Structure 1
Amino acid sequence: MRRPFYTWLMTQRNLVAANEVQTFANGAFYDQQFPKQSSDFDEISRYLEENANYLHTVTTFDEAWSQYLASEM
Structure 2
Amino acid sequence: MRKSFYEYLMTERNPNSHDEIAEFANNAFFDQSFPKHTDNFDEISKYLEENAGYLPSLTIFDDAWQKYLAYLN
Q: Which has the higher helix share?
A: 2
Unaligned runs of 5+ in 1: none
TM-score using structure 2 length: 0.96
Provide the aligned C-alpha RMSD in A.
0.7
- Aligned partners of 2:66, 2:48: CA distance in 1, in Å? 16
Structure 1 residue 16: Cα displacement:
1.1
Amino-acid identity (%):
56
Q: AA paired with 2:10?
A: M
Instruction: Tell me the SS of whatever aligns to 1:27.
Output: helix
Deviations 1:39-65 (A, max 9, x none): 000000000000001111000000000
What is aligned with 2:23?
23
Unaligned runs of 5+ in 2: none
Number of corresponding residues: 73
What is aligned with 2:49?
49
Q: AA paired with 2:70?
A: A
What is aligned with 1:3?
3
Instruction: Tell me the SS of whatever aligns to 1:11.
Output: helix
- Aligned partners of 1:61, 1:17: CA distance in 2, in Å? 17
Structure 1 residue 2: Cα displacement:
2.1
